Structure 1
């Protein structure tokens, strides 16, 4: 007898509510040539969840059968068969109780009343079983034509976008027009939509602009729709499109779009104010102390009269310094920060004048004007369109300058790298200095003294107050005391390097400046003189680095310690530090592995050593200048190979950082054990390979180690199952290393057990077997070497062969026939889950019906797959 897969018992309760069939509101107006979709829903019905539908056409006093979900081959009238066969008319099921009638390429001939009918599955007739909807197909008369948009507009000017759209007014349809913009490759964005209810709806990013009066729409005779952007913005640049849509009003004030067409109005480029705004300052002549200085700022732009201009005069005392604001004028003509000596006037449109009375040396500097251009919007608000700053012009105020000479001499000249150097800067023949002061700066450059102004590098200096400053490249040397700048006499300045590097060779010079008091009591530079240059150089020798590696300790067996030393020796280099990287070349060849490194700043880093349980097994330390030791604890056979040191010498730069000078690799030393590593085998045995659900399975795993168990060895035993449905994946059922076994969720629920019979034999029991427990089982054994009471190192792994466990299904244990239930005849029950049926009626008491006497194809007969047991139950399989 064939085993039964499922047992279902069916009971029917409850009462019916009235059935409701609905279709869209009439009339349903659509455009010829389009696809028409008519939806039909049914709710509040009894019987199967999935309902059947029939569509009919009522036209000219006739009722023509169109299409059905129940009688698919014989229902359709001959008038529509060709269109249904070609797919031009389809009935699509959207849900159990929803279908949609689709008519492709509809024509005026399809005008009719369409009736949707549902077949009754209710116990009593209640509600409506059909609903009618009138379809009206009108001609395609929507016309859209573009008017080319201007190719270029100026920022702030008006932009008009015109689109012509019309349709046949006799069809009682409505029109909407939408303007859109696409900027580059970005998605198209709607600007504004007018209609279909004569309401203007701006796009999300244009709502505030519309509220501020920045756009308007004019509708003129003949279907002309004009969108005007009152002030063009740089963001208005892009390609514009006009889209017209034809609408009908359906149901309770519900708008439905039935047709739409788009046309491109063209690409518009917006010339930004910042692109044509030009600002310049005229170059003045040399100004003498006590005279008036006049500077003019000239401004030009395409639409200058419509712009609001703000202007700032800026001044800085050096070309590289940040400028400060001297005087300002707002776009309303209000002058700020003016004084008796400084004034600002508007000479004419686009020309602003600066006047400084009675200049002194403090008026010398670099002058520029900054202009901000504003555009006034329709709302009355201003927005900033552009900002530009003119190129600075230098103003020099002439005054009697002190006169003096500057001589540079060498006190100490270096002969080798690392030697000290001293230079003296002398000031002689001083005149017109009075109560002024002297300041000095030191430079280093190349070539001849004539090259110094263009290519010199600032070392540092002492200002007229005696305060020291250092160039960016020399600040760290000053902090470390390697560079000293001092004034040893009123007329003598000294530059001293404690140790010279090869990078310090070059042409040295000093510049002395004279400082005097201005009218307001501040200090100002009155003049400066640069000395001739002195070339500092010496014959440098190339540094040499040698590295030697040596084994200090080699382990005799796995678990031991490996130690090696690396000694670096360098010549022709001073003040060096070393970095070291330990690397290994595997015994079997392949890529070199980086293990651990120590930087020149003594920062330790694990490089390629990433074994989670052995992070503390390697250490690298510095035991002397250029002397390093590397140690590996718990060495394993996999650690064997050729080890070597990669050492680099570093010297400190003038900026305070380190510079890599030279590097070298050591000789190779080997890590190799005196004896072979441990080997082992593991096997698995299954007591019975064919069991039934609910039984227990027992498996035995045996380990044989060639060298026998060591006193400091531990073993981790694991049992895996590979499902026959997923042979590439294995699930861990249970494992044990120390203490109690770790069980998977399957083992916790069903009850797996692990027993250690002796140090090399383990027994596994899997209880309450299910069919899903079928598959291949195998053992894996991992050895662990005990390094200390708290740490251990992973050793070898061995995996057994797989054994197949087959769990058979016990039919009669799984099938229990309930009683005291009413029997129902299910003529539609032929799938394993008996999903649905059309009619239900009770059967009289009956015995088992033999399978051979079942009937098929008869509406009231049993189909294959249904066995009637008695008046209390029915069985489907």
Structure 2
């Protein structure tokens, strides 16, 4: 039999719990062993004092009777042969040597029936305080939170100090049915006994992102000053905050033991969510009607941002087109003030986006075009408490304004286009193909026509609908290839490199496409597409949106005379050669046979 206790001496702090484990092994009899604890005070002259027993309620001596009755001194059983002596509030007079005795259950004497360990009681020197408590005043989401806690210990023994900042969340109902609320304690961040910074389980990502920090500084009177900062509080950060200081010592068995602990409530934090205060408005409101070429000025205002919160803003102007219904980005200003243009990059030279004042932004289009009509909205993404967020940082909240409908007074434009293949000699390989596109525009004011030439593959079969052309069914053919274009400003663009192509303007309404040295690959159906461009009051050109596609004409190449003679020539030569070889072979064969008969012996 052996009774085991930890090695001593054990240094513990007055006023705080003492726990001594005792384990018996190698015994006979019942698996549930009994235990009796004795104390030998240093001034008792070796006399023992009964503390507590697992089998005898009358075992404690007078100094311990009341403490045993009220549970301050007790034995807690971990298993049948393992218990712990617990003194809830250690006193100075509790110092001495504690003996754990196990009454015999063995048939014969088998070894040690008791073990002992010395306990030293040291004064309580753990101090903790805070600089400023939290008030009940709500803190806006994204504001910075700073909590400061001071703590120190003075001990002749080598002890270490750890500091923990934590939070209690209330509001959860208990399962007891009494209707009470149960608080959930969450550790935010700590400096452990070895001076390492350790984030709580629920706060590790924010700590890794640098949003929560804890620093130790030198305070007055030798105290340590511990400063915890949250760069941007969130609604989930609401709750009751506390600071906890713990004193640690390393026992002779090399294990760390917490010997003192104090918790100090700092106050309650109430967070006002950004969603309850943020507002985004745009002006002018409702509907705006402008002439083509007029300037468009839209203003976006962000309301409800707390002045003490240093937040970054991403401001975007979005537009839903009045014709297509697609939503596109017009322009944006990033939190660092950089302006970029969205889907229509040409606007970069024809507009501006500026920060007029704090929380107020303007979008200017110097000369509106028909494509600028639609519904505009200002979309604001707020990064609460983060002035310059990283690209991977999610926005705290995104809100958009009501729509501003922009209508343009567009003059009526009618346009038509007809493609023609002028009559002439049959088209053959190597000749020049000429195609004419005649356009008709009905409108007021100066206009220009932009013409594109398109080619479709040769259909199977080709079905002429009318003299001089084939009417295309756009749903039944493959997409066309863009061959060439004459822009509204007179610039000619050729898009096919394997053919010699030229394009020019014959008159105000007539446009010509020529394909020089035509090849078989140039065969197909050809058509033209006309688009009308108007001129605004400032002299700038814009697309009116009026378009027309012509009929399609069939370009087919006939064989040349030289190509037609080639076949009989080849056939004639081949036939003559075959006949000559046949005659020569026949004559030679007969002559050789006759010669062989003449030389045969008679």
- TM exceeds 0.5? yes
Structure 1 residues 644-682: Cα deviation after superposition (integer angstroms, max 9, x where no partner): xxxxxxxxxxxxxxxxxxxxxxxxxxxxxxxxxxxxxxx
Q: How many residues align?
A: 390
Matched, 1:46 2:28: yes
Matched, 1:353 2:353: no
Task: Determine if contact 2:145/2:232 at 8 Å carries over to the other structure.
Answer: yes
Matched, 1:185 2:171: yes
Task: Determine if contact 2:17/2:259 at 8 Å carries over to the other structure.
Answer: no
Q: What SS does structure 1 have at the residue aligned with 2:228?
A: strand
Q: What SS does structure 2 have at the residue aligned with 1:206?
A: helix
* Distance of 2:310 and 2:74 partners within structure 1: 67
Tell me which residue corresponds to 1:461.
Answer: none
Task: Determine if contact 2:316/2:329 at 8 Å carries over to the other structure.
Answer: no
Note the 1:294-693 alignment, pairs <5 A.
294-300=296-302, 301-302=305-306, 307-317=312-322, 324-329=327-332, 331=334, 332-340=338-346, 343-349=350-356, 350-355=360-365, 357-360=367-370, 363-374=372-383, 375-376=386-387, 382-398=393-409, 519-521=544-546
Structure 1 residues 16-36: Cα deviation after superposition (integer angstroms, max 9, x where no partner): xxx221123323333334453
TM-superposed deviation, 1:283: 4.6
Task: Determine if contact 2:190/2:214 at 8 Å carries over to the other structure.
Answer: no
Note the 1:174-253 alignment, pairs <5 A.
174-183=160-169, 185=171, 187-220=184-217, 221=219, 222-253=223-254
Tell me which residue corresponds to 2:283.
Answer: 281
Is the alpha carbon distance of 1:93 and 1:371 closer, same or farther for their aligned partners in structure 2, counting shifts above 3 Å?
closer
TM-superposed deviation, 1:144: 2.7
Q: Which has the higher helix share?
A: 2
Matched, 1:160 2:165: no
Task: Determine if contact 2:5/2:23 at 8 Å carries over to the other structure.
Answer: yes
Tell me which residue corresponds to 1:481.
Answer: none
* Distance of 1:199 and 1:253 partners within structure 2: 19
Q: What SS does structure 2 have at the residue aligned with 1:188?
A: strand
* Greater RCO structure (CA 8 Å; 6+ sep): 2
Structure 1 residues 400-420: Cα deviation after superposition (integer angstroms, max 9, x where no partner): 799xxxxxxxxxxxxxxxxxx
Is the alpha carbon distance of 1:259 and 1:396 closer, same or farther for their aligned partners in structure 2, counting shifts above 3 Å?
same
Q: What SS does structure 2 have at the residue aligned with 1:383?
A: coil
Structure 1: runs of 5 or more not aligned? 1-18, 403-433, 436-516, 524-877
TM-superposed deviation, 1:198: 1.4
Report the TM-score when normalising by structure 2.
0.56
Matched, 1:144 2:128: yes
Deviates more, 1:277-286 or 1:50-59: 277-286
Task: Determine if contact 2:311/2:382 at 8 Å carries over to the other structure.
Answer: no
Task: Determine if contact 2:353/2:364 at 8 Å carries over to the other structure.
Answer: no
Structure 1 residues 74-94: Cα deviation after superposition (integer angstroms, max 9, x where no partner): 866566556556765444555
Is the alpha carbon distance of 1:337 and 1:184 closer, same or farther for their aligned partners in structure 2, counting shifts above 3 Å?
farther
Q: What SS does structure 2 have at the residue aligned with 1:63?
A: coil
Is the alpha carbon distance of 1:351 and 1:310 closer, same or farther for their aligned partners in structure 2, counting shifts above 3 Å?
closer
Matched, 1:63 2:47: yes
TM-superposed deviation, 1:159: 2.0
Is the alpha carbon distance of 1:41 and 1:121 closer, same or farther for their aligned partners in structure 2, counting shifts above 3 Å?
same
* Distance of 1:378 and 1:356 partners within structure 2: 32
Picking from 287, 290, 293, the partner of 1:291 is 293
* Distance of 2:154 and 2:66 partners within structure 1: 33
* Distance of 2:23 and 2:80 partners within structure 1: 9
* Distance of 2:88 and 2:207 partners within structure 1: 41
Q: What SS does structure 2 have at the residue aligned with 1:72?
A: coil
Note the 1:691-770 alignment, pairs <5 A.
none
Tell me which residue corresponds to 2:492.
Answer: none
TM-superposed deviation, 1:64: 1.0
Tell me which residue corresponds to 1:29.
Answer: 11
Tell me which residue corresponds to 1:263.
Answer: 264
TM-superposed deviation, 1:110: 0.9
Structure 1 residues 601-641: Cα deviation after superposition (integer angstroms, max 9, x where no partner): xxxxxxxxxxxxxxxxxxxxxxxxxxxxxxxxxxxxxxxxx
TM-superposed deviation, 1:394: 2.7
Q: What SS does structure 2 have at the residue aligned with 1:396?
A: strand
Is the alpha carbon distance of 1:170 and 1:299 closer, same or farther for their aligned partners in structure 2, counting shifts above 3 Å?
farther
Structure 1 residues 477-526: Cα deviation after superposition (integer angstroms, max 9, x where no partner): xxxxxxxxxxxxxxxxxxxxxxxxxxxxxxxxxxxxxxxx9931379xxx
Report the TM-score when normalising by structure 1.
0.39
* Distance of 1:292 and 1:203 partners within structure 2: 59
